[in-house]
Amino acid sequence: ALSRYQDIIDAPDSGTLDYDSVDPSATKPTKAAIRVNDLLETITDRYRPLSSFTQKLRFLIDVQLDIFDRFHTRLHQSLEAYLTMTSSLARTVHGISREEQASLQGVKGLDRLCRIFGSADYLEKAMRDWSDDVFFLDLYAELKDRARSTARAGGGKNLAGPMTVADVATRTSSSVVGDGDDDEGALFDETAAAYGRLRVRSEGVIIDVLSYNVREALRPYGRINPWASLSTTISTTLTPSSSSAADPSSTSTSQDTHADGTSANTSSRDREREALAVTAELD
């Protein structure tokens, strides 16, 4: 199983996002994540018929959970490598050039982060689904009973091979060591929680990178002075109003008004002369 896992990791397309194997609305995992999940389902089918509880538990811990842990370590190291290479300290300590850092920004950088996020999200959900499988529910119930019996006996007896109850709980679920009968738990609690933390962290990095890229894209627009263009617009709007006083049509109208007034005064004087002439004739 470990050699098959290594073949999956070494495949040239292991880091490629798989858009066809999941629902269109679901987060896209890498092909490696899907193949690891398929491998572990095959392993489950292999040891499912076993009657020995110890053998089934050892298959779960030594094979399945070990492969899950290996792949989680790989994803975690990829995220740490990205954060290291994109930091300002990387140029000084690791000798990473600005060109290499630039290749990790933008779409290329987001693609790398989405591979980590998508793979962690996919396998976390897969483990949650496995926890509801009847086979793993029965295995967990028996594990819980044996752990309770071992605790009543003084806790000196190992639970599975060389592993104590505390060792098994660390690898599977902390609820194994609980005393209550209705404790909620599952065999993949600890591993699924580790993938969940990685998913949340990678999602936070994606948000930070997107925010940074948006700010950098909008930075040139911040140097533009919007008040200068606004002042120009206001001046252009006010200029026709101020020049309306010199409008030829208004001047012409004023002249016409004066001309009409002058002609009216002339007609009045003519009528006065005619009245004086008539008075003189009568005299």
pLDDT at 123 over 90: yes
Mean pLDDT of 79-108: 74
pLDDT tens-digit profile of 124-159?
Answer: 999 999 988 999 999 998 888 888 887 776 655 677
Mean pLDDT of 263-280: 55
pLDDT at 255: 46
DSSP annotation of 209:
H
pLDDT tens-digit profile of 158-175?
Answer: 776 777 888 888 888 888
How many Å apart are CA 4 and CA 8, to the nearest integer? 6
For the chain, percent of residues with pLDDT exceeding 70: 69
Decide: 34 and 19 in contact? Cβ < 8 Å.
no
pLDDT tens-digit profile of 48-68?
Answer: 998 888 889 988 999 999 999
pLDDT at 254: 45
Decide: 169 and 176 in contact? Cβ < 8 Å.
yes
pTM for this one? Answer: 0.73
